[in-house]
Amino acid sequence: MVRRSEPPFNGCRYVGDRRKRLVHDLDREARGVRGCRIPDIVLPDVVTFEPDTLREAYRRGFDFCPSCIGEE
Ligand SMILES: [Zn+2]
């Protein structure tokens, strides 16, 4: 699967949803209505991380998406 290269994703692996406080791993994105629903995140709620790591997302208070990350 190719990551989204366009803004605001810019090829980042980890993308957060500011409203749901969830972080997604786009390399393991779950498609479909029960999946990550990345296209449903409104642009102002899209968060990327610097550095682009799960640790940084966790540090900033994001929970892990159960569909693509789970309890890792
Ligand atoms: Zn997800």
Distance from Cα 50 to the centre of ligand 1, integer Å: 19
Other Cβ atoms within 10 Å of 50 Cβ, number: 7
Q: Is residue 6 part of a domain?
A: no
Arithmetic mean of pLDDT, 24-34: 94
pLDDT at residue 71 tops 80: no
pLDDT at residue 64 tops 70: yes
Q: Write down the pTM of the prediction.
A: 0.92
Q: Is residue 5 part of a domain?
A: no
Distance from Cα 43 to the centre of ligand 1, integer Å: 16
Q: Is residue 69 part of a domain?
A: no
Distance from Cα 26 to the centre of ligand 1, integer Å: 7
Counting residues of the chain whose pLDDT is more than 70, the rounded percentage is 96
Query: What token pair was written down for 46?
Result: 């899209």
Distance CA 12, CA 3 (A): 7
Distance from Cα 13 to the centre of ligand 1, integer Å: 11
**What's the domain count of the chain?**
1
What range does the domain containing 59 cover? 14-64
Q: Is residue 56 part of a domain?
A: yes
Arithmetic mean of pLDDT, 53-58: 98
Bridge partners (DSSP) of residue 15 are 24, 48
Task: Look at the chain and count its residues.
Answer: 72
Q: Is residue 45 part of a domain?
A: yes
Alpha helices (H) in 1-72, listed in sequence order: 54-59
Distance from Cα 24 to the centre of ligand 1, integer Å: 4
